[in-house]
Amino acid sequence: MRNRDFMRETILSERKKKILQVVIHHHIKTTKPVSSEVIVNEYGFELSPATVRNVLTELESDGYLTHPFTSAGRVPTDRGYRFYVDTLEDVQRLTIEEMDRIRKEYIRKRVEQEEIMKRTTHMLCTLSSYAGFVMVPKLDKSKLKQLEILSLENNRILIVLVTETGLVRHKIVQLKNALPDVYLSKLSDVLNRRLRGLSLNHIKTNIIPIIEEEFNKHVKDTQLIKFIFQQVLNFSEREMYLENTANLMREKSQDDYMKMKLIYDAVEEKKRLVKILQSIIREEGIKVLIGEEFPEPKMKNCSIVTSTYKTDENMVGALGIIGPKNMEYSKIISIVDFVARLMNKLLDRK
């Protein structure tokens, strides 16, 4: 008797699993609530609509589905999407044409890391029709190749930093008083002579003695120089390329539009997104965050598929795609995984 009950429960669990997968698959394809009639008529279940409705009610009680007030059909909850992602047996493979297209973006000409990051962001957007991003590794271990400090109008200066791997950072700093071009040129020359080839982390811990040694005898206001270089040290913070977030607004219904508007507002705040990603890239491989799994409430209406990559200096960054919860996970996971692997090869070769 116990074995018979166990078998009934096993069969019921498999039935619920298959119906849940069909509901989520159909909702992703159509963005509409899924009814029992659709499941029976379009997916070949040899069950009556009444039996399917009972299963849908059970899945809703289990927290995998919910239903809009204006519809008898069901839509997935965050728990339902998580089940769907975790039970994907096969990830949709990219076509040969898609893979060749991605590769050609990188091999048209020799590019520096900065350009690789930009092209990758653009490619993720183009392939997914959602927002793509690349989070640059922290630059602490990057070695300085060139530093330029140039004067601008209205007592401002432009600081440009180039690493040996080709990453470029620039920042405009407002000063109280203008500084002569000759002075800034001398400052750039001295700093390049003393700092070229050193990591930003090393520079961060040794810059004050260098400044005092070089400038105390010549310049009264060493505090000004320290302030300028403090802006350079801020380059060690993570930066992110984020492109084409307008693609998130492509949904047609008013309800979907409002959801996408919330996502659009959330991902435009890059600093928050960087903090979220920093907490999930401690391990290599594909990660998927869905709705309520985000620590940031503003992102509860979206999902992120992300993966890590490494530079030749073994610094870890992240790339990925941001979209609605009903994104085509199998396809998006395949895109992110392929691009991350290709990035690793390119950056390791460089």
> For residue 224, is it within any domain?
yes
Is 342 found in the same domain as 257?
yes
Q: How many domains are there within the chain?
A: 3
Pair (148, 127) in one structural domain: no
User: Measured between alpha carbons, how far is 271 from 79 in angstroms, rounded to an integer?
Assistant: 27
Residue 195 lies in a domain: yes
- Assigned domain for 41 exists: yes
DSSP state of 328: -
- Indicate if the alpha-carbon torsion angle 199, 286, 91, 124 is positive or negative: negative
Amino acid letter at 258?
A: M
User: What domain range includes position 284?
Assistant: 96-137+238-349
By DSSP bridging, strand 240-243 and strand 131-135 are antiparallel
Does 158 fall in a domain?
Answer: yes
Same domain, 170 and 186: yes
Q: Is residue 11 domain-shared with residue 49, that is, in the same domain?
A: yes
| Structural domain contains residue 91 | no
Task: For tokens 């990219």, name the residue.
Answer: 94
Q: In the chain, what is the straight-line distance between the N-terminal and C-terminal CA atoms, in Å?
A: 66
Residues 17, 64 contacting (CB under 8 angstroms): no
Distance CA 340, CA 348 (A): 12
Last residue of a domain, one of 236, 259, 291: 236
Same domain, 272 and 299: yes
Q: Is residue 266 part of a domain?
A: yes
Phi/psi for 135 (5° steps) reads -95, 120
State the pLDDT at residue 98.
Answer: 75
Element (H, E) at 163: strand 156-163
- Provide the b/e sequence for 217-245 (b: ≥16 CB within 10 Å): eeeeeeebbeebbeebeebbebbbbbbbb
In one-letter notation, the amino acid at residue 197 is G
Q: Give the CATH number of the domain where residue 244 resides.
A: 3.30.450.40
Contacts 24+ apart (CB under 8 A), 25-31: 25/84, 27/75, 27/76, 27/326, 28/326, 28/327, 28/328, 28/329, 31/251, 31/253, 31/256, 31/326
Nearest C-alpha neighbor of 37 from the set 55, 19, 50, 27: 50
Same structural domain for residues 60 and 17?
yes
pLDDT of residue 347: 72
Say if CB 74 and CB 34 are below 8 A apart.
Answer: yes
Local mean pLDDT, 10-residue blocks, the chain (350 residues) = 38 78 92 90 87 92 86 88 86 73 65 76 87 80 82 85 76 80 83 84 75 63 66 65 64 55 63 74 82 81 88 73 90 92 74
